[in-house]
Structure 1
Amino acid sequence: MRYYLLPLVLLLSFLVVLLPGCEPKEDIITTDSSARLEFTQDTVKFDTVFTSVGTVSKRLWVYNRNARAVRVSEISLQNRPGVTYSLLVNGEPTLTARDVEIRGKDSLLVLVRATIDPTPSDLKPFLVVDDLKFRTNGNEQVVKVLSYGQNAYFHNQEEIRRNTIWKADKPHVIFDYAFVDSLVTLTIEPGTRIYSHAGAALLVGGTLRCNADFRPTAELKPTDRNFVRFQADRREEQYQDTPGQWGGIWFLSSSRDNVVRFTEIKNSAFGLLVLNPKILRPFPSVTVENSVIQNISSAKQAFTNAGVQIALDGAALLALSGNFTARNVLMANCEQYAVEGLLGSSLQLDYCTIANYTTLANRLTPSVILASSLKINNQVKTAAPSLTMRNSIVWGSMREGEELEFVDGEQYAGNISISSSVLKTKKYDNTATLGQRKNGNILNPTEGPGYLFKSTPLRFRGKTLDFQLDTLSPASNKAVPLPGLTRDLLNRSRNSTTPDIGAYERVNP
């Protein structure tokens, strides 16, 4: 039999010799537009102390998961002013690399270099963001590159598991999150500046004492350096008043005895959020005093942790089975709610000003809302909330003129007490059970001749906003003195017999 096979073997060997060499599949370049790249990270972060280091390099691995090779037509940076970025591709320094081939199932190492003047020219931290672009088969994919130009404390997915003090000597920058463990206290010193990257949040499972021990002895200016200030890390002019740039401060179900004083929180998805969706008792509690919360987003946020699925709208103060006590607090320019109390939450507002003027032309939500029921994990949970409001203002740009909403309020009407306050509401003007034309309240005053506030977006476009009371404001001298609350948001003495309604005591010129 083997003699018959020998001619066949010889013939096959001859054909193999004549055939051209076959190119491996992983070297054949595909032009399919679905052949996309993958990256080790979506952001290259230079969180180094640039004030002491001139040039730093970071690695970015680029993966071709496709079976065939791809040709990256261009790898480039925009090089915006502030920091000089450069690339090292296949060992070659360049600003733009073209026609870079990556074999199938292979990878490419790109080194990104940032060069900055190590001499600090500005005491403020600044963020420089660039786009590292990859163009492949008509697709453009972008990896963000960001750098900070000042010495700072960086908190990148940091878990704080012992009592900690955030000092004011350098700014603090939060990436993703900083988490305060239960039974642990985070203390933030007067004058501390906290900058959060997109989507980042401060999560408090223990206790937050933010400027809790600051005791001013004189009148403060709104720009006083002793205020603690939370904001986003984008410092460009167009981002100064943009809501929703970072997550806010979230108090979890294990959190207790939190104090936030002389603090500004701005440009976030939430200002202060108590998140207790399992309605665990005792409820987390937060005391807020002499603070400003403004420019809060309207975007709905989904929460899926710990077996809980829930979606919440942005608010300056949002309590989900939690307790807030707010005194001398300004809540301004929220794109949706300013105060939201859900599922058994208890809210006490004394000398607060809610001035909810928004960039949204069609805001349809009231500034203050209470609700006794909420869908969690597709099941409706029910618990009656409560609200005590004294000497406060609830106002805003709602077109229908309604800045109050008590969802199913007849069921918990006994839990609502509002007195000596200025309210913008038509719904609760004449209703018997929930009507608020009583207890010294002032409902729907006209905006002239005495305006409520010195400057609003509707009254003076382009002028610096000022929610202190105007000269002839209907809120002047209409409050009832409250024990222990003899000073306003800026630590000015209140009239001892007829103080002003709201967070600010009017100062005579």
Structure 2
Amino acid sequence: MRSIYGILLLCSVILWSSCRKDFDTTPSSGKLTFSKDTVYLDTVFTNIGSSTYNLTVHNKSDDDIRIPNIQLANGESSNYRLNVDGLPGKEFQNIDILAKDSIFIFVETTANIEDLSQTDNQFLYTDAIEFDTGSQQQKVELVTLIQDAHFLYPEKFADGTTETLSFGFDDEGNEILIKGFVLDDTELNFTNEKPYVIYGYAAVPSNKTLAIDAGARVHFHRESGLIVAQNGSLHVNGALSNDPEVLENEVIFEGDRLEPAFSEVAGQWGSIWLTQGSTNNQINYATIKNASVGIRMDSNDGTNQPTLIIKNTQIYNSANVGLLARTGFIEGENLVINNSGQASLNLSYGGRYTFTNSTFVNYFNNGFRQFPAVLIENLLETQENILVSDLIEANFYNCIIYGNENLELLFSKSDEAAFNYKFENCLIRFNDFNNLYAETPEYDFDNPTLFENSILNEDPVFKATELNQLQIGEESAANGLANPSTVTVQDILGTTRDINPDSGAYESVIFEE
């Protein structure tokens, strides 16, 4: 009986399948619909592949259809690449779409701008995906902007190895090498004529200065960055911009992925690294975003002048630390740091620091954060030892230290070294509701030798922290908090501070609804 039922079931399946229309398609009648009429692939650099973009092709009819031909209008010479329902290529025949169903097409491009006619170092490259031919043909346009750039990268040798930079030896005697190269004399001035794209670490050699002009754009590939060697210098010569959205005169450091989806992604590249002994570094009107560590500074150069003077600069979306200084010597004005995976500002292993009218906050929301917005230390823990160094001074005048955690200012102190600091006219978030630090003298906010005219836990009324917009409103607790005798003349946007100036990098404004 089981065998008879099995035979009958098999026959039924065969008869049912022979009646299905899945295998009887009708030719496409030119009535396909698409998820978009034009696929815009966002700006890419010449010879760097784009992200993958998708197009959905719908068959809204009651019939299974067959598209006899899908192809790029420019054929095999096209710089676009397609994947149609899992098949790669540039031309496809007899593609079926079932009734009330759809297929996916994925689109990418890589183009060499030297092969294209261009103006102003960029070229709008277009093509189209054609469905069918003749009177039934339908098209979806493809558009992307190809941008030219200066490409700087390590040399590749005949044996397959790549140029490296040496950083001495580890504890086991192994040489520490990273992929990188030394900038030559012809590469020590970055202009604003077209962007720079750096692969690996570009090193400023000893006794040389890398000068970066106002309006320059510097992009780093993953695991890349900028290194300033002993006795070398970095001068970032940005200027105030007229358009705060475009920042046309500011120098911008970011990753080499230009698509909007990558515009605020942390950790796309390494760091600007001011190594031990670098000297006379100056940064003015710069935006540093999406790095692992925005600026890393190791030791000062032993002079009586700051190793780094940084003004009117923004550091955002650092995967680890926005500004990390180990025994640094820094003077900063109108400095803004936000959205760091660890601390926005970490003054580690002692040093000398003065920050005026700066905004150090941390509203990182891409994971759990164990560090405050500002962490100040006179020690450095290694696997084997705890090293200490004098914190000669750490002065904060008219600053905002805030974030989305209760404790946004913390100290890590060794009694074996000096630990000197002072906060004047600052707005600080320090909500010690568990009284963890009630008996710790470093957190005696009533002590005027440590905290003078500073307030705790009042609302700074930022414009939009999730967008790194740290302007303060007129209702901000920082409004009128600054000391007129120590305040910066202008804020980071060039607004002249009035007789009742505000703390932080921005003067207060009325937010538009």
TM-score range, shorter chain: 0.5 to 0.7
Name the CA shift for 1:182/1:413 in 2 (closer, same or farther; >3 Å). closer
Query: Quick one: distance in 2 between partners of 1:412 and 1:454?
Result: 40
Deviation at 1:199, TM superposition (A): 1.0
Q: SS where residue 292 of structure 2 aligns?
A: coil
Query: Quick one: distance in 2 between partners of 1:125 and 1:436?
Result: 58
8 Å CA contact retained: 2:388, 2:414: no
Q: Please provide the CA RMSD for this pair.
A: 3.4
Query: Quick one: distance in 2 between partners of 1:375 and 1:252?
Result: 19
Deviations 1:352-388 (A, max 9, x none): 0122101234222111112222234733321122311
Q: How does 1:270-419 map to 2 (within 5 A)?
A: 270-276=293-299, 281-282=302-303, 285-297=307-319, 314-376=320-382, 378-385=384-391, 386-398=393-405, 401-408=406-413, 415-419=420-424
2:207 maps to 1:183: yes
Which residue, out of 441, 444, 463, partners 1:435?
A: 444
Which residue, out of 490, 493, 509, partners 1:487?
A: 490
Deviations 1:116-169 (A, max 9, x none): 57245896799xxxxxxxxxxxxxxxxxxxx99322111103412438211100
1:207 is matched with 233
2:473 is matched with 470
Query: Quick one: distance in 2 between partners of 1:474 and 1:335?
Result: 26
Q: How does 1:49-198 map to 2 (within 5 A)?
A: 83-84=79-80, 115=111, 118-120=116-118, 149-157=146-154, 158-162=181-185, 164-198=188-222
Q: SS where residue 269 of structure 2 aligns?
A: coil
Deviation at 1:414, TM superposition (A): 5.2
TM-score, normalised via structure 2 length: 0.63
Query: Quick one: distance in 2 between partners of 1:421 and 1:483?
Result: 12
Q: SS where residue 354 of structure 2 aligns?
A: strand
TM-score, normalised via structure 1 length: 0.63
Name the CA shift for 1:429/1:327 in 2 (closer, same or farther; >3 Å). farther
Query: Quick one: distance in 1 between partners of 2:506 and 2:479?
Result: 10
Deviations 1:155-202 (A, max 9, x none): 103412438211100100010111100110000000000111001011
Deviation at 1:349, TM superposition (A): 1.2
8 Å CA contact retained: 2:298, 2:326: yes
Name the CA shift for 1:494/1:284 in 2 (closer, same or farther; >3 Å). closer
Query: Quick one: distance in 2 between partners of 1:226 and 1:187?
Result: 15
Give ranges in structure 1 of 5+ residues lacking alignment.
Answer: 1-46, 52-81, 87-93, 97-112, 127-146, 298-313, 458-463
Which residue, out of 421, 425, 428, partners 1:420?
A: 425
Q: Which residue identity lines up with residue 151 of structure 1 in the other structure?
A: D
2:463 is matched with 454
Query: Quick one: distance in 2 between partners of 1:115 and 1:455?
Result: 37
1:20 is matched with none
8 Å CA contact retained: 2:401, 2:427: yes
8 Å CA contact retained: 2:328, 2:350: yes
Query: Quick one: distance in 2 between partners of 1:469 and 1:429?
Result: 30
Query: Quick one: distance in 2 between partners of 1:317 and 1:372?
Result: 16
Q: How does 1:259-274 map to 2 (within 5 A)?
A: 259-274=282-297
Deviation at 1:286, TM superposition (A): 1.0
Give ranges in structure 2 of 5+ residues lacking alignment.
Answer: 1-43, 49-77, 83-88, 92-108, 125-143, 155-180
Query: Quick one: distance in 2 between partners of 1:318 and 1:504?
Result: 23
8 Å CA contact retained: 1:428, 1:436: no
Deviation at 1:84, TM superposition (A): 3.3
Q: Which residue identity lines up with residue 194 of structure 1 in the other structure?
A: V
Query: Quick one: distance in 1 between partners of 2:394 and 2:185?
Result: 35
